[in-house]
Structure 1
Amino acid sequence: MMMNLFSTFDPTTNFNLSLNWLSIILVFIFLPSMFWLIPSRWNFLWINIIITLHKEFKILINSPFKGSTLIFISLFSMILFNNFLGLFPYIFTSSSHLTMTLTMSLPLWLSFMLYGWINNTIHMFAHLVPQGSPSILMPFMVCIETISNIIRPGTLAVRLTANMIAGHLLLTLLGNTGNSLTIFTINFLIFTQILLLILESAVAIIQSYVFSVLSTLYSSEVIYEYT
């Protein structure tokens, strides 16, 4: 039972091939219509979302470099599309795997750390000891801040993966009980599944927003001295 349940999250389930990862590029099916079709309400809605995110990320980063919000808006868009595509039947949820989430969080964190320690070493050392810490606790604060800094890419990746897997597992567990239910309970089950699907849609938006905002905050700590 458990092997069959978790096999739905296995990228090599079908024919021992990893073609399921091609679901990542399905997003490009929806993008080209913006360039050759008359702009619709959906296009205007997406443009307004991007503009809103740009204004918010610009305030959070407070960076003198132009275009610094583009990478975080692209990150938000990629995670959002993959989360939503995973809610459709027979589409592989790539964002529920650490392979993909770590691939996004680890290079970002490494680039922030390299940039900060090379160009802003004094600030990076000062950031290890919070302001106002007692002298006797400073060695412990350095250890705590160092550990919390090291596990940041892992927490980003696990947070997104765990939230996406939890909802899909709950939907799968409830759906597998449908064969042994009566007509009344099946109707109740369908209603519950619809509510869970709405909840998963909200989680898909929230988790993509949280991932991009936390990445933005991590970058703002590195370039603090330059603002």
Structure 2
Amino acid sequence: MMTNLFSIFDPSTNLFNLSLNWTSTMLGLFLIPPMFWFIPSRHLILWNKVINSLHKEFKTLLGNAKINKGSSLIFISLFSIIMFNNFLGLFPYLFTSTSHMVMTLSISLPMWFSFLLFGWINNTQHMFAHLVPQGTPPILMPFMVCIETISNIIRPGTLAVRLAANMIAGHLLITLLGNTGPNLSTIMLMTLISTQIALLILESAVSIIQSYVFAVLSTLYSSEVN
């Protein structure tokens, strides 16, 4: 039962032993470029407003404009690709790559490691100071160093698990409810359809929120190394 349930997340579709499900991650490359060449539409204007709002917010979080000049574009791109892949999972027969740890860890781990490497090479004293919060009693300093070190090490894992778990949870709930459809009466079936529509709206909100949370936390982690 559980094997069949979680099999919806398996990248099993293949052609000539090549997995085709993961190619859905790259669909945005075919859809996004025409937006910038066609006559500006309402969707493009809305997306530009979203990007400008994110740029202002990320620039505020990053601080120090001289060092972090242009860094907000990295996190806007990160937000865009995660949100796009989250939304793809809401369409039938499309693979949700962000529900797999191999995808989320591939994003969070190199980014976290590069921030950490940059901080320890360029701002060593600042990174050591972060290990002991201001005002910590001397007797608690060794424990605080251990706690802060562990919290820094698990950051990429928490980013990856948070995104993957939220994507899996919503899709599992929709799948479980959808499997009960053939056995229901007409009235209950209409109720189920209404519930599924409400869940899809909720999952759309979760797709945006989780991509925003991932990008904001990544921005905060990068601002700590300066």
Q: TM-score range by the shorter chain?
A: over 0.9
Question: What TM-score comes out, normalization by structure 1 length?
Answer: 0.96
* Unmatched tracts of structure 2, length 5 or more: none
CA distance in structure 2 between the aligned counterparts of 1:6 and 1:170, rounded to whole angstroms: 11
2:58 aligned partner: 57
Shift of 1:32: 2.1
Shift of 1:12: 2.3
Shift of 1:98: 0.4
Shift of 1:199: 0.3
Shift of 1:14: 5.1
Work out whether 1:109 is the aligned partner of 2:112: yes
CA distance in structure 2 between the aligned counterparts of 1:154 and 1:198, rounded to whole angstroms: 28
Work out whether 1:171 is the aligned partner of 2:174: yes
CA distance in structure 2 between the aligned counterparts of 1:71 and 1:162, rounded to whole angstroms: 24
Q: For 1:77, which of 76, 80, 89 is the aligned residue?
A: 80
Letter in 2 for 1:10: D
1:12 aligned partner: 12
Paired residues in the alignment total: 223
Q: What SS class does the counterpart of residue 222 from structure 1 fall into?
A: coil
Note the alpha carbon deviations across 1:159-190, whole angstroms, 9 max, x for none.
Answer: 00000000000000000011111111000000
Note the alpha carbon deviations across 1:115-172, whole angstroms, 9 max, x for none.
Answer: 0000111110110011111111111111000000000000000000000000000000
Letter in 1 for 2:134: Q
User: CA RMSD, aligned part only?
Assistant: 1.1
CA distance in structure 2 between the aligned counterparts of 1:72 and 1:196, rounded to whole angstroms: 28
Shift of 1:4: 1.3
Q: What SS class does the counterpart of residue 49 from structure 1 fall into?
A: helix
Letter in 2 for 1:6: F
CA distance in structure 2 between the aligned counterparts of 1:29 and 1:17, rounded to whole angstroms: 20
2:125 aligned partner: 122
CA distance in structure 1 between the aligned counterparts of 2:124 and 2:29, rounded to whole angstroms: 40
Shift of 1:13: 4.7
Q: Could you tell me the percent identity over the aligned residues?
A: 73
Letter in 2 for 1:77: S
